[in-house]
Structure 1
Amino acid sequence: MTSERVIVSFRELGMQLRSGALSPVEHVTDTLSRLAADTHNAVITLDAERAVEQARVLTEELARGEWRGPLHGVAVGVKDLFDVVGLPTRAGSNVLADAPAADADAPMVTRLREAGAVVVAKLHTHEFAIGSTGDAAATGPALNPHDHTRITGGSSSGSAAAIAAGHLTLALGTDTGASSRTPAALCGVVGLKPAFGTLPTERVFPLSETCDHVGVLAADTHAAGVAWDVLSKTHGTGGRVQAPDVAGVRVGVPVDDYWRPLDPVLTAAVDTALESLRARGASLVEVRTPMIDELAATYSVIVGTEAYATHAMWLADRLADYQGVTSERLLPWKEHPARGYVDALRTCRRLASAMRQAVGDVDVLVLPTTRLRATRIGMPEVDIAGTAVPVRAALSALTLPFNLTRWPAVSVPGDVTDGGLPAGVQVVGVGFDERGVLCVASALARRV
């Protein structure tokens, strides 16, 4: 089943709002109607009354000639890991079914509001963000707008689905190993993971303090750039968007077996992206990362141990309230020795440094976002040339290393040679920061 999708660019929406062709009240009201009729299980709850009132205030500001910037009057969604004042944070779990309404916004939500964005909804998340598929939650699986039998990816499942469906142009997500970039890739939208620590995670339900990042899901790279400008600066308005000039940029192409996807369409998407960058003046450099398998192996130990520490009491008292796949992932870490956790942290730091030395001469890396495209809902494995491939691992293997190195990374839609499900191309900052990464990504941009 493929749903009808009408995608409006962020730039076009902003021009309509600023010119008065569309008022914030009209835009927000229409968005709320779209979200109320959503068929992708992307929406957890609407904040309709508060959103319309905020839109009314913003409409009056425009009438007085007051403009807060490109987010003025733009409806946004928020993954249900963030606190939004007046709404409960349930994190996709029955464990938090009785959670009280938050008494304050997360800092990232506050910054969006101050820049003129209107928070209209909390959106679906894989339970407690412990999963890259988006199909394990108290409210059931999120459905990919390109095909309702397919996963959205996770854990920012609702954010990606709502944008791919055309309901929103911008949403907040998180990214601990894949959670913004993988659903962006599978749903055909843009997913940005900034460098570690650049955006505060206060009032965002934690998965791993070592690897948690706030993320941005967007309809296009322009929207992601505006959101980054707003979120990264206390008084950011989203006013500066860098032109996609890539002449002279050194692009690293990882050639180790680890980085190879399992779908030839993904290989072709990256090849097309690389050729496009070369044609625009970038230079391509093959890079090798002999430490990558050992570095990646530290991820499950670090994240698993830290996640178990967060959930230990609930697992002891309320095990039945967890989705089975979630508790199965958490419980094995109950007896994991402290030495193993500390060893993993030390190994991670050592090998992250070694990886930077190995690729440090390039500005960015360009590679697939995932090893697979969207699989069918509920399938833990897929057959690839007679080999059973675990879906969860295939969806996070190419993204999680950059949570360990803590570098900025963005997934953008790539060329799809078979006309089928979306393909994600990942741009990772080595010498470049978030704005540089988005500049390169913009050079690859195509409509979702």
Structure 2
Amino acid sequence: MREQPGEAPLIWWSAEDLRDAIAEGTLTAEEVMSAFLDRIDTVNDEINVLVFQLPREECLELAREADRRRETGEALGPLHGLPIAVKDLVDVRGMPTSQGSRAFANGSPVAADAPHVGLMREAGALIIGKTNSPEFGVGTLTWNDVFGITRNPYDTSRHAGGSSGGVAAVAAGMLPLCDGSDSGGSLRYPAAFCNAVGLRTTPGTVPGTFGGNSWDPHSVYGPMARSCSDAALLLDAMRGAHPAAPLSRLGEAHGAEGEERGRAIRLAWSDDLGGLPVSAEVRETLADARRRLVEAGVQIVDVNVDLDGVDRAWEIIELFGWYSLLGADPLERPELYRDDFLRNVSEAADFTSDDLATAFARRYRLYTQFAALLEDFDGFVCPATPVVAPPAEVLWVDEVDGVEFSRYFEWQRLACRLTMTGHPVLAMPAGFSGGLPVGMQVVGSYGGDRELLALGSALEEVLGMGRVLPQL
């Protein structure tokens, strides 16, 4: 076990320390569960992140059963006794899946776990609820007409980010870990806004079912935590093959143990990922992080990457994915869907085979570019978001540094462009500006998810921003 957290409240212990203490019997799972439930009772009304929760006594009984298994000498999984909530796009046995949509808001509890949820449960996680998401995960701010806005623990007048809004619960000390999904920044934007870690995994590492689009590597599941080491703990529990997730067979080897870092780190760096607009606050914070890393001996080289045509290719693949999943239902029942989502599906219905072929070819070329680049570097770094967390009344950011956007996904391009590499991408804390967290993205080698988290841990040691807690 790592250095003990001393007098820190249990809610701020690392997931690793909590897991070890439960396994050793110095803490009970019931004590841990009770501490997190008390915190949820205190702050969830303000943050609005847990949108479904099992009754308190049911949660405590899950913890007591975990304690009984330890007492009888049963083999314990890597998440034994840890409370976790799951993104409300994902099925959890016995819980409804609303997807933040009026179309599914009154759904019944589902009968079976999604593949990665079943793996977390097998690893000993105690799944106590569901976390908020925008409708169908569309966009990188968490709000919907069913549950409302999820707010930022560092400033509750601002957004937590999305679509994996559950990281707000982790940042607020309501949970030690949570899951998320990502096609255009949904693990990375909220992690950056909430001073946390989110890993867009190599496709196939975590088993995922995405309806008719399950063969496509565009959308992935991944871990969210307050540190890279805790994210690695959850990743190890989430990864594996599943018969319903075809790409997961390819990913069985992904996520092997990360290497010990005993050599100088060498990073490729971009301030704006090909000229994208980035606010002064984010630029200055990343520049300060870069200075600190260089002072610590990290070698950093500015690089340029050919990104011509990548934005449109991402749009085609993203919108086609939604049409593959839902078909014409949004067009037949438009009153149940967001206007921007309707526009997505309507546009996708008119895509041609040439549109799709061009997009898929561009994605492959970008994959090969980054594969070659990362032969010479440990990682590629750029900002995680173009701005700090926006005010909570904003539906999406329509201007950055004087550049105006006409569609919600245009301000997500720092993330969308890196989705198209096919490589794992880590979002992690880089610093603060005006009291608000700023994050950076680190791209690692294909299949090197654990190595990327080990690199992130080394960068955390220098930057240390994950230790700055919200004042709630």
TM-score of the two chains, using structure 2 as the length reference: 0.84
Aligned to 1:90: 98
Aligned to 2:425: 409
Specify which of 300, 315, 318 is matched with residue 333 of structure 2.
Answer: 318
Aligned to 2:314: 299
Aligned to 1:176: 183
Q: C-alpha distance in 2, partners of 1:229/1:180?
A: 17
Number of residue pairs aligned between Structure 1 and Structure 2? 439
Specify which of 112, 116, 119 is matched with residue 124 of structure 2.
Answer: 116
CA deviations 1:384-419 (Å, max 9, x no partner) are 555435694465212222321211111111122x44
Specify which of 197, 222, 239 is matched with residue 232 of structure 1.
Answer: 239
Shift of residue 218 of structure 1?
0.7
Q: Secondary structure at the match of 1:422?
A: strand
Specify which of 285, 289, 300 is matched with residue 284 of structure 1.
Answer: 300
Aligned to 2:438: 423
Aligned to 1:223: 230
Shift of residue 266 of structure 1?
2.2
Aligned to 2:135: 127
CA deviations 1:43-80 (Å, max 9, x no partner) are 12113465433322210122234452442101111001
Specify which of 431, 441, 446 is matched with residue 456 of structure 2.
Answer: 441
Shift of residue 258 of structure 1?
2.2
Q: C-alpha distance in 2, partners of 1:241/1:348?
A: 28
Change (3 A) 1:283 1:45: same
Shift of residue 94 of structure 1?
1.0
Letter in 1 for 2:232: G
Aligned to 1:26: 31
Structure 2 matches for 1:23-422, cutoff 5 A? 23-37=28-42, 38=44, 39-48=46-55, 50-66=58-74, 68-157=76-165, 159-202=166-209, 209-233=216-240, 245=261, 247-254=263-270, 258=274, 262-290=278-306, 292-358=307-373, 360-379=375-394, 380-381=396-397, 384=400, 386-388=402-404, 392-393=408-409, 395-416=411-432, 418-422=433-437
Q: C-alpha distance in 1, partners of 2:215/2:293?
A: 35
Shift of residue 299 of structure 1?
0.3
Change (3 A) 1:91 1:178: same
Unaligned runs of 5+ in 2: 1-9, 243-251
CA deviations 1:130-187 (Å, max 9, x no partner) are 1111123421121112222211111101x11111111011001101110111110011
Q: CA RMSD in A?
A: 3.0
TM-score of the two chains, using structure 1 as the length reference: 0.88
Q: Report if aligned partners of 1:81, 1:204 keep a CA contact under 8 Å in 2.
A: no
Q: C-alpha distance in 2, partners of 1:432/1:202?
A: 19
Shift of residue 244 of structure 1?
6.5
Q: Secondary structure at the match of 1:251?
A: strand
Q: Report if aligned partners of 1:10, 1:220 keep a CA contact under 8 Å in 2.
A: no
Change (3 A) 1:422 1:391: farther
Q: Report if aligned partners of 1:246, 1:280 keep a CA contact under 8 Å in 2.
A: no
CA deviations 1:196-220 (Å, max 9, x no partner) are 1111103789799441100211121
Q: Secondary structure at the match of 2:151?
A: coil
Q: Report if aligned partners of 2:180, 2:221 keep a CA contact under 8 Å in 1.
A: yes
Change (3 A) 1:149 1:327: farther
Q: C-alpha distance in 1, partners of 2:30/2:271?
A: 50
CA deviations 1:304-363 (Å, max 9, x no partner) are 122123223321332111133432443333323333122212222234323433554222
Q: Report if aligned partners of 1:207, 1:306 keep a CA contact under 8 Å in 2.
A: no
Shift of residue 382 of structure 1?
5.3
Change (3 A) 1:324 1:255: closer
Q: C-alpha distance in 2, partners of 1:64/1:6?
A: 27
Shift of residue 125 of structure 1?
0.8
Q: Report if aligned partners of 2:213, 2:321 keep a CA contact under 8 Å in 1.
A: no
Q: Report if aligned partners of 1:288, 1:359 keep a CA contact under 8 Å in 2.
A: no
Shift of residue 260 of structure 1?
5.6
Q: Secondary structure at the match of 1:423?
A: strand
